[in-house]
Amino acid sequence: MATTNPLQFVQEVRAQVSKVVWPTRREVLVTSVMVFIMAMLTAVFFFFVDWLIRLGLQGILGMF
């Protein structure tokens, strides 16, 4: 394994960080809202799936 000079390492890190394309405030806001909406839709979906399974099991177990 090759050893790297700490100064060279810091210079390389700074060079890589300068290549990063940072999102705009609007992009972050839109993405965050979309994640929140998708999480809520997923929660509602699983709520109804759970509710249907519970109704089915209660119906089946109620026969016995």
pTM above 0.75, yes or no: no
Question: Which pLDDT score, from 0 to 100, does residue 1 have?
Answer: 64
pLDDT at 60 exceeding the cut of 70: yes
pLDDT band at 64 (very low <50, low <70, confident <90, very high): confident
Window from 2-6, 19-23, 34-38 with minimum mean pLDDT: 2-6
What's the farthest any 2 CA atoms get from each other in the chain? 76
pLDDT at 14 exceeding the cut of 90: yes
Question: Which pLDDT score, from 0 to 100, does residue 34 have?
Answer: 98
Q: 49 and 42 in contact (C-beta within 8 Å)?
A: no
Question: Which pLDDT score, from 0 to 100, does residue 4 have?
Answer: 74
> What SS3 string covers the chain?
CCCCCHHHHHHHHHHHHHCCCCCCHHHHHHHHHHHHHHHHHHHHHHHHHHHHHHHHHHHHHHCC
